[in-house]
Amino acid sequence: MSSATDVVQTRSSSQPSSWRLWLRQIGAIFRLEIEKNFLSRRSLLIYLLAFLPLFPLSILALVRPPGNEWRDFNQMSVIYSILYNGLILRTVVFFGSAWIFMNLFRGELVDRSLHYYFLSAVRRDVLVVGKYISGLVTSMILFAGTTVIAMLLLYFPHFYSQSARYFTEGRGLGQLLTYAGITMLACLGYGAFFLVVGLFIRNPIIPALLLYGWEWINFLLPPVLKKISVIHYLNSLVPVPVSEGPFAVVAEPTPAWIAIPSMLAVTLVVLILASYRIRHLEIRYGSD
């Protein structure tokens, strides 16, 4: 009887130590991967994508383009919303997340270095969590930074005094934080999807392009199908909605209290799927 009690006590006392071990391993994996994400040769494309919206805005900061809408401060919020939706969210964040998260495991297979992780005393699902967090932090820092800098570049060069009041006394700061939050949520959702794609599919470019096409035709889809996309939930959170054109199928935006938990829940399910896949993954470098 006493021996059974001792076993139960040992198991219960070893569980917290296991959690502490996993957290330390996640931290170690995170530190290794974050350096790779920012300093490897593959990171050059990420920096180019992050700079993509800033290049034209830097030029516009020096020379105001023709057109009455560019001379009207009240139009800046609409102009930025169009820029954010078309260039930052659908292009920079999408393809940037695809490159970062698909390479977390696919890049290791191409470099023939994944077996070093598999030979170490690390649970494979712990490896998934550590790599995902590193990709998430990388994408959030780069793309949320792009989101913030792009908005400031649009407003301040030609409307400095009005912009200063707008961001300190008006709605500017709230909109800026909302756009940055939407970008982070996009990194969360797209990142989980592309992580799984990189694990399950040998050539992840095809599913990435299929998802890209699905996200772009979202405005044409019936309301039920609109909800089977990331972009619908992200657009529901945008502080300045933009018209999707005369051919768009109108659908009610999903409230934030539904959109955000839904994105988090789907991300969790996808990560569980990735953890299942990594536990059954066999490395065959010759076939990759």
Spell out the residues 6+ positions from residue 79 whose beta carbon is closer than 8 angstroms to its own: 69, 70, 154
pTM for the full predicted model: 0.88
d(CA 153, CA 61): 7
pLDDT of residue 225: 81
pLDDT of residue 10: 37
pLDDT of residue 101: 93
pLDDT of residue 42: 84
pLDDT of residue 30: 92
pLDDT of residue 14: 47
Q: Mind giving me the DSSP string for 14-77?
A: HHHHHHHHHHHHHHHHHHHHHHHHHHSTTHHHHHHHHHTTHHHHHHHHHSPPSSGGGG-GGGHH
Closest residue by Cα to residue 288 from 199, 186, 212, 196: 199
CB 272 within 8 A of CB 199: no
CB 190 within 8 A of CB 97: yes
pLDDT of residue 94: 95
In which residue ranges of the chain is pLDDT below 50?
1-14
